[in-house]
């Protein structure tokens, strides 16, 4: 089948909620994707931060194939080895105590919100609590996740949303303090804002929010769906700040290609919140996805990928800084580890498209940021290749 035939068939049958690029990817190998025409693309998007090991990793693939031949699904009414192994791996990686597996990052956010609300309900004996979220944040597409997403155009079509959400300014501690009341049950924030423009939290802000939560017995929810799993140079980005949240959400590279998410909580929160009947999922934590989680975490540790990211990221940032000095429309770069963005005054969508035409997959974030989320296996060679393509595209402007 020709490329256009694939695209026509897709548009005939798929609900048009994505503005897809006219590319039909067929397979991947290492850092590269190949389309149905055989064209090769260097991947600096990694499926929006999912494909930590790149494509075609035999050790990872073999682990999933082995599980497929054993059992795919049992439901959460029974134990099975993969969920036990995966829960232990995630608890140790996050520094949390208890883990609940979901099907996606948005579902992890939903579970985190319910857990925080139930914790406050158990403590106070009544409902009606409030949540403080951050402007320009992004937490997912479900109604609960959209309710705490601090970007107006994501929320506007779907009102009425979940009540009791207030928005503070990211990295402005006083704006958070001004919203705290006796009704506040949780503060939710990304450690590094992704869709909002690649903004890492400052040390002073994250430490201040943690202290504020401790003072008022507020649940601190750190959303690490995009920035977690080695991308920042630590297994989880909050570990760069030596701050421990009460709840952490994780997904994307957690399954390295298999759709799975999780939220993990401290013993204190677990003991005083959800009980059987409060929350559940049919597919969440099934044997297949949990075999992927256990393998993903163990491989990341064995390959020392967070350490690799921390080692190579300064070179990545140096090359981005060179682009900001060379082109007036490249105003700044910001990010952490292998989650980097270039702030542009030229149309970001055009840059993304031109890069794709030249064989480089990159993303956008917000209206003015070129976003780069390479697989964690990327080295200086691939960084040089990507920067050369971006340089070539920039020269056309």
> What CATH number should be reported for the domain holding residue 287?
3.40.640.10
Does the model's pTM come out above 0.85?
yes
Q: Residue holding tokens 């503005």?
A: 19
Helix/strand/coil for 113: helix
Q: What is the pLDDT of residue 52?
A: 98
Cis peptide before 160 (omega within 30 of 0): yes
Q: Does 78 lie in the same domain as 53?
A: no
Same domain, 291 and 374: no
Cα gap 23→33, rounded to integer Å = 11
Alpha-carbon distances of 154 from 112, 137, 206, 220, 390, rounded to whole Å: 20, 10, 25, 23, 29
Q: Are 263 and 216 contained in the same domain?
A: yes
Indicate if 215 and 275 belong to the same structural domain.
yes
Same-domain check for residues 308 and 164: no
Angle of helix 380-395 relative to helix 348-357, nearest 10 degrees, comes to: 120
Q: Are residues 87 and 212 in the same domain?
A: yes
Among 256, 279, 302, residue at a domain's last position:
302
Backbone angles phi, psi at 92, to 5 degrees: -70, -40
Q: How many domains does the chain have?
A: 2
C-alpha radius of gyration, the chain, whole number: 21
Beta strand residue intervals within the chain, DSSP E: 25-29, 32-35, 40-43, 98-102, 130-134, 165-168, 184-190, 192-193, 199-200, 219-223, 247-250, 261-265, 330-336, 339-344, 360-361, 363-365, 369-372
- Are residues 178 and 73 located together in one domain of the fold? yes
Q: Tell whether 112 and 259 lie within a shared domain.
A: yes
- Domain of 316, in residue numbers: 3-57+304-395
Residues 227 and 333 in one domain: no
Burial of 17 (0-12, 13-18, 19+ CB in 10 A): exposed
Question: Per-residue pLDDT for the chain (397 aa), expressed as one digit of tens each?
Answer: 899 999 999 999 999 999 999 999 999 999 999 999 999 999 999 999 999 999 999 999 999 999 999 999 999 999 999 999 999 999 999 999 999 999 999 999 999 999 999 999 999 999 999 999 999 999 999 999 999 999 999 999 999 999 999 999 999 999 999 999 999 999 999 999 999 999 999 999 999 999 999 999 999 999 999 999 999 999 999 999 999 999 999 999 999 999 999 999 999 999 999 999 999 999 999 999 999 999 999 999 999 999 999 999 999 999 999 999 999 999 999 999 999 999 999 999 999 999 999 999 999 998 899 999 999 999 999 999 999 999 999 999 9
175 and 261 part of one domain: yes
| Nearest by Cα to 86 from 105, 102, 99, 68 | 99
Q: Are residues 51 and 111 in the same domain?
A: no
Q: DSSP for 65-112, please give it.
A: HHHHTT-S---TTS--HHHHHHHHHHHHHHT-SEEEEESSHHHHHHHH
Structure confidence at residue 7 (pLDDT): 96
Q: What's the CA dihedral at 9, 14, 20, 23 to 10 degrees? A: -30
Query: Helix, strand or coil for residue 334?
Result: strand
Q: What pLDDT is stored for residue 366 in this prediction?
A: 87
Three-state secondary structure call for residue 38:
coil
Structure tokens at 27: 């397979």
């Amino acid at each position: 089948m020709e490329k256009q035939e694939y695209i026509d068939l897709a548009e005939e049958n798929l609900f048009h909620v994505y503005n897809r690029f006219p590319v039909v990817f067929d397979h991947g190998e290492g850092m590269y994707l190949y389309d149905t025409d055989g064209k090769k693309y260097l991947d600096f998007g990694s499926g929006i931060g999912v494909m930590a090991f790149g494509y075609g990793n035999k050790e990872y693939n073999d682990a999933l194939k082995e599980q497929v031949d054993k059992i795919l699904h049992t439901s959460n009414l029974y134990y099975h080895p993969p969920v036990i192994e995966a829960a232990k791996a995630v608890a140790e990686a996050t520094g949390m105590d208890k883990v609940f597996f979901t099907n996606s990052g948005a579902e992890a956010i939903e579970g985190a919100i319910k857990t925080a609300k139930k914790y406050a309900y158990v403590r106070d004996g009544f409902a009606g609590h409030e949540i403080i979220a951050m402007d320009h944040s992004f937490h997912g597409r479900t109604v609960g996740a959209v309710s705490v997403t601090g970007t107006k155009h994501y929320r506007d079509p779907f009102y009425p949303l979940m009540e009791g959400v207030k928005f503070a300014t990211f990295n402005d501690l006083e704006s958070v303090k001004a919203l705290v009341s006796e009704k506040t049950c949780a503060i939710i924030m990304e450690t590094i804002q992704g869709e909002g423009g690649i903004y890492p939290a400052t040390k002073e802000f994250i430490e201040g929010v943690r202290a504020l939560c401790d003072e008022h017995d507020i649940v601190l929810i750190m959303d690490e769906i995009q920035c977690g799993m080695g991308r920042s140079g630590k297994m989880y980005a909050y570990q760069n700040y030596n701050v421990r949240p009460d709840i952490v959400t994780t997904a994307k590279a957690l399954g390295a290609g298999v759709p799975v998410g999780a939220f993990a909580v401290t013993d204190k929160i677990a003991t005083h919140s959800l009980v059987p009947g409060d929350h559940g999922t049919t597919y969440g934590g099934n044997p297949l996805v949990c075999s992927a989680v256990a393998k993903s975490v163990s491989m990341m540790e064995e390959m020392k990928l967070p350490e690799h990211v921390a080692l190579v990221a300064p070179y990545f940032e140096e090359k981005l800084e060179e682009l900001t000095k060379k082109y007036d429309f490249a105003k700044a770069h910001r990010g952490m580890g292998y989650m980097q963005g270039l702030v542009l005054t030229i149309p970001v969508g055009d840059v993304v498209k031109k890069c794709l035409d030249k064989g480089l997959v990159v993303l956008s974030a917000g209206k003015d940021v070129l976003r780069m989320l390479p697989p964690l296996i990327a080295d200086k060679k691939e960084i040089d290749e990507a920067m050369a393509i971006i340089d070539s595209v920039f020269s056309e402007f």
